[in-house]
């Protein structure tokens, strides 16, 4: 009998009655770590009813009290960071150092949620007309839902539920079925921090469970992070059912290399940003655009990439781990094959890499292509593996046009010594997150995570001030107090007097 991942409903960790269970596999060995139940319709109804009920009291808890609980939560997460990272490494295959980063980037959002009294402050203007004041305030929405991907099982749930709950909402998390043990540990610590029962619930499953949430009349808002096709489905269905929806989706991130950049910095950052976490980051660099003579650095890049080694999570010499699943590996291998058939030059091919003694792991070694053309499938699709494509252009303007034609707009960066080139790039590139000599420009949580085009569906983005707007409704009050002034007749105009 394998470990069963519990649901978390109405403040209790409970075993699901579902007969449909999915295996949670160690990606280096395929050994089953636990079984994940696909929650029944009744269980989901119970979670929603409990969250709806809890909302009535949670929304009345003063913001400073909610912030105090959040402070306790961030302290517990910090205390348990290594232990959470170890669980995370085992179920994702990420190296321990990278897993710690995943947890840390989530803790930063919880720190941000501790500022909720200031973040929720409204606006006031005295005397909008004579002796009339207008002020606005924000109030929570009700029951919110988060659907999260496999690739950051600590950070991405923490992008969502702490801020939603700090705003006074209650929350139902549907974590990735591929690595649910990490989010469950986050939930255990949430309980330990002292949050009241019903404020957070967890259900597990896949499309069927998500669809029940998307169409349920008691759900007010949906946050989703995952692939673009699934994001489109979530956005369409959620909005059709009149919910507020934000979907952070797939990517194809370009790094522009100017000939005046520092060559060694370029090579080091390109290797880390393309194959780190086995390329399974939505902000990974997957295309390097060499401008002018910088194309001559390709040989040195190939040499450096060849030194990046996949390995086990607890091997300090490993650069990155296996892919999440055999299906993910097969998809990456088939795209590599297709790239070769389409005529791109495969300068380094990691397709046959196997870690000695771990033949069943989902390994793919670093892979580098040159001579990639924009119409090729490897350029059009998100690969989500340790594969870097390179394209050569003559000018910065050409590089920017290429990036702007790509359907995705999550992240991009430029490496250069020229302020003028950087300024041109930041102004003209149509991508939501731009790095200047920073390869993976993921904003810290006081800003928002702002993908564009097919990398995002919705209008308010994840975390930062935008998330507070997403998880709240604004109410605007216009107020007058009479001071025994002379009473005139009715005012028949729309004007405030």
439: DSSP letter: S
Residue 231 Cβ vs ligand NAD, minimum distance, rounded to whole Å: 7
Please give the residues from 392 up to 431 whose contact with ligand NAD meets the rule CB under 6 A: 410
Asked whether the beta carbons of 336 and 328 are under 8 A apart, the reply is: no
Which of 114, 144, 247, 282 is labelled catalytic?
A: 282
Nearer to ligand NAD by C-beta: 244 or 281?
A: 281
Shortest CB 150 distance to ligand NAD, Å: 4
Dig out the tokens for 395 from the structure. 């000018």
Closest distance of CB 479 from ligand NAD, Å = 41
Could you confirm whether 282 is annotated as catalytic? Answer: yes
Binding residue (CB under 6 A) for ligand NAD from 210, 221, 289, 368: 210
Helix (H) / strand (E) containing 132:
strand 132-140
91: contact with ligand NAD by CB under 6 A: no
Q: From the CB of 400, what's the least distance to ligand NAD, in Å?
A: 21
Is 411 in contact with 435 (CB distance < 8 Å)?
yes
Q: Which of 100, 112, 220, 233 binds ligand NAD (CB under 6 A)?
A: 233
Q: Which of 177, 432, 453, 468 binds ligand NAD (CB under 6 A)?
A: 177
Which of these segments, 82-90, 161-169, 203-211, 413-421, binds ligand NAD (CB under 6 A)?
203-211
Q: How many residues are listed for the chain in this entry?
A: 497
| Residue 296: count of CB within 10 angstroms of its CB | 11
Q: Shortest gap between Cβ of 157 and ligand NAD (angstroms)? A: 10
Which token pair is 41? 């319709």
CB 426 within 8 A of CB 403: no
CA separation for the pair 193, 166 (Å, rounded)? 13
Nearer to ligand NAD, 140 or 458 (CB): 458
Please, is 307 exposed, middle or buried when counting C-beta atoms within 10 Å of its C-beta (0-12, 13-18, 19+)? exposed
The residue sitting closest to ligand NAD, measured at its beta carbon, is 226
Cite the DSSP H helix spans in 128-180. 155-166
Q: Does 163 bind ligand NAD (CB under 6 A)?
A: no
| Total H helices, total E strands in the chain | 16, 22
Residues near ligand NAD (CB under 6 A) are 147-152, 174, 176-177, 206-207, 210, 225-227, 230, 233, 248-251, 282, 382, 384, 410, 449, 451, 455
As annotated, the active-site residues are 282
């Amino acid at each position: 009998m394998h470990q069963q991942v519990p649901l978390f409903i109405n403040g209790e960790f409970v075993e699901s009655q579902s007969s449909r269970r999915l295996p949670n596999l160690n990606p280096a060995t395929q050994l089953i770590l636990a079984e994940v139940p696909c929650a029944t319709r009744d269980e989901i109804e119970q979670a929603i009813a409990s969250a709806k009920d809890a909302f009535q009291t949670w929304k009345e808890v003063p913001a400073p009290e909610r912030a105090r609980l959040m402070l306790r939560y961030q302290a517990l997460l910090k205390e348990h960071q290594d232990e959470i990272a170890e669980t995370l490494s085992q179920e994702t295959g990420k190296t321990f150092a990278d897993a710690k980063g995943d947890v840390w980037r989530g803790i930063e959002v919880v720190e941000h949620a501790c500022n909720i009294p200031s973040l929720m402050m409204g606006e006031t203007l005295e005397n909008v007309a004579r002796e009339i004041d207008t002020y606005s305030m924000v109030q929570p929405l009700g029951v919110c839902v988060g659907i999260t991907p496999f690739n950051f099982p600590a950070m991405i749930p923490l992008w969502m539920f702490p801020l939603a709950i700090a705003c006074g909402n209650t929350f139902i998390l549907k974590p990735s079925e591929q690595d649910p043990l990490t989010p469950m540990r986050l939930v255990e610590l949430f309980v330990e921090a002292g949050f009241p029962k019903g404020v957070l619930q967890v259900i597990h499953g896949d499309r069927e469970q998500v669809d029940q949430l998307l169409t349920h009349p008691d759900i007010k808002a949906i946050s989703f992070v995952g692939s673009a096709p699934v994001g489109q489905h979530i956005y369409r269905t959620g909005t059709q059912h009149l919910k507020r929806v934000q979907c952070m989706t797939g990517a194809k991130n370009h790094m522009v290399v100017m000939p005046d950049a520092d060559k060694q910095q370029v090579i080091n950052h390109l290797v880390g940003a393309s194959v780190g976490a086995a390329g399974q980051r939505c902000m990974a660099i997957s295309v390097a655009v060499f401008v002018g003579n910088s194309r001559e650095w390709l040989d040195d890049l190939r040499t450096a990439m060849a030194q990046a080694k996949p390995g086990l999570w607890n091997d300090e010499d490993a650069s990155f781990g296996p892919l999440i699943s055999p299906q993910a590996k097969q998809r990456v291998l088939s795209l590599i094959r297709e790239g070769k058939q389409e005529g791109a030059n495969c300068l380094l091919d990691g397709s046959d890499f196997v870690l000695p003694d771990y033949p069943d792991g989902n390994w793919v070694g670093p892979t580098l292509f040159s001579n990639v053309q924009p119409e090729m499938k490897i350029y059009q699709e998100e690969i989500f593996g340790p594969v870097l494509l390179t394209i050569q252009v003559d000018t910065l303007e050409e590089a920017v046009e290429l990036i702007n034609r790509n359907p995705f707009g999550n992240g991009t960066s430029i490496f250069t010594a020229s302020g003028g080139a950087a300024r041109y790039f930041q102004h003209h590139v149509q991508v939501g997150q731009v790095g200047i000599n920073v390869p993976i420009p993921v904003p810290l949580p006081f800003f928002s995570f702002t993908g564009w085009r097919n990398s995002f569906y919705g209008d308010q983005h994840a975390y930062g001030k935008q998330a507070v707007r997403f998880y709240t409704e604004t109410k605007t009050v216009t107020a007058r107090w009479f001071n025994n002034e002379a009473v005139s007749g009715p005012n028949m105009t729309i004007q405030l007097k």
